[in-house]
Amino acid sequence: MEDEIVSLALTMADSPDMTQQQMDYNRGAIWAARQLLDLPQRLILRVENELHLENANSRESRLHENGEYDG
Q: What is the mean pLDDT of residues 20-38?
A: 94
φ and ψ of 57, to 5 deg: -65, -40
User: Does the pTM exceed 0.85?
Assistant: no
pLDDT value at position 60?
82
pLDDT at 21 over 70: yes
Does residue 61 register a pLDDT over 90?
Answer: no
Per-residue pLDDT at 55: 93
67 has a pLDDT exceeding 90: no
pLDDT at 71: 59
